[in-house]
Chains A and B, each alone.
Chain A
Amino acid sequence: DVKVTQSSRYLVKRTGEKVFLECVQDMDHENMFWYRQDPGLGLRLIYFSYDVKMKEKGDIPEGYSVSREKKERFSLILESASTNQTSMYLCASRVKWQGAPETQYFGPGTRLLVL
């Protein structure tokens, strides 16, 4: 059974803290994604990683960075958390694009509250 796991389901942090969200997939997928999900806005892409050490900015990268040192792990970093980063964060993975649509597999999400 395919699996994407996220390090925490719920997280509470203070403004200005550095926050690490971890995502691990066991499917040997090349591509990984970080999205944030907000009411009325759907899912918006923060960062995408093609493969190890490869990344692309998504639609809302400001205030975030990412790290992909191993194929199975993709980390999202909030350099200095702010209250407007309170949200649900979803990680996903898929095999690399080869001309046909590929399913994205999502983790259960991390609900982050920044106080």
Chain B
Amino acid sequence: DAKTTQPNSMESNEEEPVHLPCNHSTISGTDYIHWYRQLPSQGPEYVIHGLTSNVNNRMASLAIAEDRKSSTLILHRATLRDAAVYYCIQHLSGTYKYIFGTGTRLKVLA
């Protein structure tokens, strides 16, 4: 069965980079990796996605291992507003199935 694994929690100081890891060792060649985050009292929101190459957008960067069995979400300068639960998700290619990890709760210290 497909599975994604994340650490339960991480801490970062404000304005420092944060690297959030995820293992998805069962991923197949065409499954995309997505990251969403959930702020307190809100539903999850999209952060970034990728397939093989590293990806950047205004919110974050996604580094994908060459064998695709792991990835890292990078927040370049964490702010207090980045405190959230971050979910790593494997989207099974061509299906409606998204395999969510259990999430990493990020705490940002002022």
Contact = CB atoms under 8 A, between A and B. Distances in A.
Interface stretch (A12-20, A40-48, A61-69, A76-84): A40-48
Interface in A18-62: 31, 33, 40-45, 48, 50, 56, 58
What size tier do the contact residues of chain A reach?
20 to 34
Interface stretch (B40-48, B66-74, B76-84): B40-48
A92 interface: yes
A92 B45 CA distance: 10
A33 B98 CA distance: 11
A30 to B, nearest CB: 11
Query: Which of A43, A44, A45, A99 has the most C-beta atoms of chain B within 10 angstroms of its own C-beta?
Result: A43
B94 A108 contact: no
B24 interface: no
A8 interface: no
B46 A103 contact: yes
A4 interface: yes
Interface residues of B, number: 21
B97 A45 contact: yes
Interface string B4-29: 00000000000000000000000000
A43 B6 CA distance: 14
Contact of B44 (A45, A50, A106): A106
B46 A104 contact: yes
Given A40-B102, A42-B101, A42-B103, A31 B43 contact: no
A106 B95 CA distance: 18
A92 B94 CA distance: 18
Nearest to B31: A101
A112 B49 CA distance: 31
Nearest to A96: B96
Contact of B87 (A33, A42, A50, A97): A42
Given A42-B100, A45-B97, A56-B96, 8 more contacts: A43-B100, A48-B96, A97-B95, A101-B32, A104-B44, A104-B46, A107-B43, A108-B41
9 contacts: A4-B43, A42-B103, A43-B87, A45-B98, A48-B96, A56-B96, A101-B34, A101-B91, A103-B46
